[in-house]
């Protein structure tokens, strides 16, 4: 049995995993297509999504989109054979060593954390590459819009469809900002959300992990909380670097999370405090 909860809104079905990381994968349906976004990593979760897609697809074309190339977001893509794959150009340009590293992380995590033998894995080959902010893909009367979202990783992007925003690893209520890319880029991506929401009248947003966002008010609250986290890191003394973690009760005492937070702190120390003030973020 799959360990998932379902959240459904206007043609979007979010598969929220209770097996690990509170992971969100999504299937979006229109008359023109079926789109899978970040197809998950836990084998039973992937199987449940695969069965659902096979049940509802009919003759519609199938697309699989990746918001970024972290192992937990790419692993399930290969289950959807015959699909058209979409990701950023930066994802396509990762080195072979970087791609191999993501796959190794997937195998190790499933074996060590969950005692699950992973299937043979391949890094996704992209059919459609997104390299322009606001780039669109049109299928019949359906439009998908993509926004480059560097910061969490260099290759991250967000997806808009049917007034729904698929965030990748941003605006989680269970994680602080994980800055694996550039700190300036992360802040700029958060600040860009205002324009995206206004342009598309977003009324529902799906982060990669945690609770689905059900209103613009909640989205902006999470954005402000993450901007505040970044700003605090530019203000506190080195001896206090761990204090902001206490607000994230799910992961505040996790060794890996503490290491990520410590790296965030070092990156943010290079930013001026007025970086946020001059851009209207706080």
Express each pLDDT in 90-100 by its tens digit.
999 999 999 99
Closest residue by Cα to residue 135 from 208, 215, 65: 65
CB–CB of 1/44 below 8 Å? yes
**168, pLDDT greater than 90:** yes
Per residue in 40-60, pLDDT (tens digit) is 888 888 999 999 999 999 999
Give just the sign of the alpha carbon dihedral 203, 206, 210, 212.
Answer: positive
Per residue in 1-50, pLDDT (tens digit) is 456 888 899 899 999 988 778 999 999 999 999 999 999 888 888 999 99
**282, pLDDT greater than 60:** no
Per residue in 142-156, pLDDT (tens digit) is 999 999 999 999 999
State the virtual CA torsion across 108, 110, 115, 117 in degrees, nearest 10.
Answer: -90
Per residue in 187-246, pLDDT (tens digit) is 999 999 999 999 999 999 999 999 999 999 999 999 999 999 999 998 888 888 888 887
What fold characterizes domain 4-216? Metallo-beta-lactamase; Chain A (3.60.15)
φ and ψ of 206, to 5 deg: -120, 110
Closest residue by Cα to residue 161 from 236, 58, 86: 86
Query: Rounded mean pLDDT of 162-187?
Result: 96
**273, pLDDT greater than 70:** no
**248, pLDDT greater than 80:** no
What pairs with residue 143 in β-bridges?
Answer: 138
Interatomic CA distance for residues 88 and 79, integer angstroms: 20
User: How many residues are listed for the chain in this entry?
Assistant: 282
Bigger pLDDT: 252 vs 123: 123
pLDDT of 279: 55
CB–CB of 190/207 below 8 Å? no
pLDDT of 257: 85
Per residue in 98-144, pLDDT (tens digit) is 999 999 988 888 787 777 787 788 999 999 999 999 999 999 999 99
């Amino acid at each position: 049995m799959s360990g998932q909860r379902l959240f459904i809104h206007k043609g979007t079905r979010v598969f929220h995993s209770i097996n690990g990381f509170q992971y969100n994968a999504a299937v979006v349906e229109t008359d023109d297509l079926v789109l899978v976004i970040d197809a998950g990593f836990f084998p039973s979760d992937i199987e449940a999504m695969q069965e659902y897609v096979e049940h509802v697809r009919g003759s519609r074309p199938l697309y699989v989109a990746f918001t970024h190339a972290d192992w937990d977001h790419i692993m399930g893509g290969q289950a959807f054979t015959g699909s058209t794959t979409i990701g950023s150009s930066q994802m396509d340009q990762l080195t072979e060593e970087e791609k191999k590293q993501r796959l190794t992380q997937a195998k190790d995590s499933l074996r060590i954390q969950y005692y699950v033998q992973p299937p043979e894995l391949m890094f996704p080959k992209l059919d459609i590459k997104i390299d322009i902010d606001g780039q669109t893909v049109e299928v019949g009367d359906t439009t998908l819009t993509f926004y480059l979202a560097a910061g969490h990783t260099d290759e991250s992007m967000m997806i808009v469809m049917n007034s729904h925003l698929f965030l990748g690893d941003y605006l989680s209520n269970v994680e602080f900002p994980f800055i694996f890319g550039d700190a300036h880029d992360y802040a700029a991506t958060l600040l860009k959300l205002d324009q995206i929401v206004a342009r598309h009248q977003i009324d529902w947003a799906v982060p990669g992990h945690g609770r689905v966002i059900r209103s613009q008010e909640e989205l902006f609250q999470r954005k402000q909380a993450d901007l505040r986290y970044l700003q605090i890191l530019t203000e506190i003394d080195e001896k206090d670097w761990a204090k902001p973690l206490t607000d994230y009760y799910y992961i505040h005492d996790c060794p890996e999370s503490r290491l990520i937070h410590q790296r965030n702190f070092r990156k943010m120390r290079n930013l001026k405090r007025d970086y946020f003030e001059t851009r209207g973020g706080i």
